Amino acid sequence: MSDAKTQIDETVKSNDVVLYMKGTKDMPQCGFSSRVAGVLNYMGVEFTDVNVLADEAIRQGIKDYSDWPTIPQLYIKGEFVGGCDIITEMTLSGELDQMFDQNGVTYDKDAAEKIREANA
């Protein structure tokens, strides 16, 4: 296993929620990363952000690791959940709430409802 894959594997498995993104949760560098980080931040989810722009090996490595071609990528309890479109759909359907509940991830249920109301 390459150094990048080992590093990714350790990060994904040792943190409850991880977002591989362009930029950081405080300063996203693309619209898709901004949307997913914004949802997590708004819902009060504690998550680890990994800036793929800071390391080319990680940027390519995460695509190989998940067999998913795009960034951002969200992981919950070591499991790949999806990218921007999937996270958006899951947020609006309530599936993301269910996944957080099932995995013991703390989030603001009222904020999740406000997102759905605003997009109804």
Sequence ranges of the binding site for [2Fe-2S] cluster: 30
Report in angstroms the alpha-carbon separations of 98 from 3, 75, 78, 90, 110. 34, 14, 16, 9, 14
Half-sphere CA count of 118, side-chain side, radius 13 A: 9
Q: Are 48 and 74 in contact (CB under 8 A)?
A: no
Residues belonging to the binding site are 30
Report in angstroms the alpha-carbon separations of 81 from 11, 47, 110, 120. 15, 14, 22, 23
Residue 7: both structure tokens together? 């590093």
Q: Are 109 and 42 in contact (CB under 8 A)?
A: no
